[in-house]
């Protein structure tokens, strides 16, 4: 069965899990802490970014946009009425633009600061940047998330 390396708080991972569910596609989920920089994970993706998809033949795909397009091309064509990407190239380009904008904006302004302060820092050692949450970062991120 294919495997998806993800983290529950990662915007990109959540996006790909949503697409997998939309297509009814089954994968083994492996929770990865990218800051741990495990050798096995770095062998799959030297950039240590999530999500990472590994198929049954050990072929690896990295990144939410790459995975979205792969899943749409391999599974979406079978579900014409539920495709994520349009048939028209201009419409596909606009979908890609909006997807990229949303993923970057959500990760940079909301998920990264909130997840880092409330989740990741509690799992990290002090050498990795762990410690107590910064209340100023939390207030700022919450205010931004309310405006998106």
- Provide the 10 A C-beta neighbour count for residue 27: 17
Residues 6+ apart with CB under 8 A from 101: none
In the listed set 29, 56, 82, which residue is the last one of a domain according to the structure? Answer: 82
The pLDDT of residue 148 = 66
- How do residues 90-138 score in pLDDT, each as one tens digit? 999 999 999 999 999 888 888 878 877 777 778 778 888 788 887 888 7
Are residues 108 and 38 part of one domain? no
In the listed set 43, 65, 82, which residue is the last one of a domain according to the structure? Answer: 82
- Is the model more confident about 1 or about 84? 1
The pLDDT of residue 20 = 93
**Domain carrying residue 48:** 3-82
In the listed set 82, 102, 134, which residue is the last one of a domain according to the structure? Answer: 82
Are residues 124 and 101 part of one domain? yes
């Amino acid at each position: 069965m294919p495997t998806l390396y993800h983290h529950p708080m990662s915007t990109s991972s959540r996006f790909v899990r949503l697409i997998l569910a939309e297509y009814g596609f089954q994968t083994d989920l492996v929770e990865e802490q990218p800051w741990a920089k495990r050798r096995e994970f770095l062998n799959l993706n030297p950039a240590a970014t999530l999500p990472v998809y590994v198929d049954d033949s050990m072929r690896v795909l990295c990144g939410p946009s790459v995975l979205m397009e792969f899943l749409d091309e391999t599974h979406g064509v079978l579900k014409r009425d539920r495709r994520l990407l349009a048939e028209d190239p201009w419409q596909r380009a606009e979908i890609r633009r909006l997807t990229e904008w949303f993923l970057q904006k959500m990760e940079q302004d909301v998920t990264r600061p909130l997840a880092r302060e409330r989740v990741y820092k509690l799992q990290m050692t002090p050498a990795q940047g762990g410690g107590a949450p910064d209340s100023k970062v939390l207030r700022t991120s919450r205010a931004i998330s309310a405006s998106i």
